[in-house]
Structure 1
């Protein structure tokens, strides 16, 4: 706990068996009260490793996508009483050692969302981020800062912390189940008047670390631009989609509808 707030780490997992143990070993359990892994129909031993580690885990019988995985992560964390939720990828790309710092920034009350930025400092290229990804990151971030009217070092990190209030307020079910979910989430955060903070985070790029290919990166980039334009049009009063509406669908907290076809368990 931090300042009397229950801290939960959620890990959206897909084929993370080789790196999961290393990631979990570096989570500070003196601060973190709960760790949840959501497996998105992995083809390796991710679930078996989660059981060995004693993690509370949820298994999607069919792959629901990165965004769909996160929706389950957050609904599960809220159902288990989390006040602060930190999303940490189980591929060991981001440093688990920063979980306490990110959670503390949320607990301070100054920020509703905290991003572990690879761009602040010199962590991205030094950690092995491909140059083309770095250039695309900088271009997309520039456009987003312009259209969203905010200033962040990057919008594309997968290392994030959230307050319970934020997760309950945003219509996250209106967002994509694909990678652009991350970007739509931040646009919603700003639209509904919540505050975003950043902390410098080193990142590692290696064979086992998950990374989308060039084709999917292009699709993501177009989705990012579409989200920023959608936000600006809404600001101008020209068009407001459901994800930026007060009446948009919020997360469905447990028990989930049968159609989600998921199973739950704790480690042996």
Structure 2
């Protein structure tokens, strides 16, 4: 990694992941020695927190389920308050390969003026055979095309939950990170772009869930398209920081 491991915080939002959280934390720690693993328990009703601590992770707990955006917002604040200039979002279900983290971190601008502020792990540009179909596929294509045009950067996977964030992104998102559905992906990109953050992507390989319950089922996939369009509309209607009314 271009940043020393001690300066990297791995943030893992987790909701009822007691079945797999120990093995995922252990893999991250063995693959990325020196990096700090932070599990944000997003209102789980099982033993996720205790098991994660037993595996060597630091743990923060939300009193009820806020979703990935809410968990990541807390993770960014922890990174800022504890002096971590790099925060990497990593799924707690084992789908993201921690071996890809160093390459993502290497893309970041850590003060040199070169590189990007957010490096996105693109599932469709990797070496695996990850694919989606139906409404989710249409939505992802539309979102990628629209956001790539808006951000002036070619992005093939704008709903990826595997991202590395540099110092400027950590500082911004510790103060302003949306918790709404898809806000952690779509809306956060618009917020970041309007604040001058630079985005890039790197192809990564997705893996099968190690266990637990998938976040999408046929019913959720059927309404994904409509929600995606709504999230995009909200993102672009959101006023820029300087335009927001003061209290």
Do the two structures share a fold, i.e. TM-score over 0.5? Answer: yes
**Alpha carbons of 1:134 and 1:6: their partners in 2 closer, same or farther (altered >3 Å)?**
same
Q: Which of the numbers 216, 219, 227 marks the counterpart of 1:220?
A: 227
Give the unaligned 5+ runs of structure 1.
231-240, 250-268
**Alpha carbons of 1:171 and 1:39: their partners in 2 closer, same or farther (altered >3 Å)?**
closer
In structure 1, what is the equivalent of residue 205 of structure 2? 202
Q: What RMSD, in angstroms, separates the aligned Cα atoms of the two structures?
A: 2.7
How much has 1:121 moved relative to structure 2?
A: 4.0
Moved more, 59-68 or 174-183: 174-183
Asked if 1 retains the 8 angstrom alpha-carbon contact of 2:26 and 2:56, the reply is: no
In structure 1, what is the equivalent of residue 95 of structure 2? 93
How much has 1:184 moved relative to structure 2?
A: 1.1
CA distance in 2, matches of 1:174, 1:157: 16
Give the unaligned 5+ runs of structure 2.
none
**Alpha carbons of 1:140 and 1:40: their partners in 2 closer, same or farther (altered >3 Å)?**
same
How much has 1:215 moved relative to structure 2?
A: 5.3
* Cα shift readout 1:75-113 (whole Å, capped 9, x = no counterpart): 112222101110101011111111111112214741111
**SS at structure 2 position matched to 1:26:** helix
- Using the size of structure 1 for normalisation, the TM-score is 0.77
Q: Give yes or no for the alignment of 1:76 onto 2:98.
A: no
Superposed counterparts of 1:80-229, under 5 Å: 80-106=82-108, 107=110, 109-121=114-126, 123=128, 126-127=129-130, 129-132=131-134, 133-170=136-173, 172-173=175-176, 175-206=178-209, 208=212, 210-212=214-216, 213-214=220-221, 217-227=224-234, 229=236
**SS at structure 2 position matched to 1:11:** strand
How much has 1:223 moved relative to structure 2?
A: 3.0
Asked if 1 retains the 8 angstrom alpha-carbon contact of 2:105 and 2:164, the reply is: yes
CA distance in 2, matches of 1:141, 1:181: 15
Asked if 2 retains the 8 angstrom alpha-carbon contact of 1:31 and 1:100, the reply is: no
**SS at structure 1 position matched to 2:115:** coil
**Alpha carbons of 1:9 and 1:171: their partners in 2 closer, same or farther (altered >3 Å)?**
closer
**Alpha carbons of 1:175 and 1:13: their partners in 2 closer, same or farther (altered >3 Å)?**
same
In structure 2, what is the equivalent of residue 66 of structure 1? 68
In structure 2, what is the equivalent of residue 43 of structure 1? 45
- Using the size of structure 2 for normalisation, the TM-score is 0.82
**SS at structure 2 position matched to 1:178:** coil
CA distance in 1, matches of 2:161, 2:197: 19
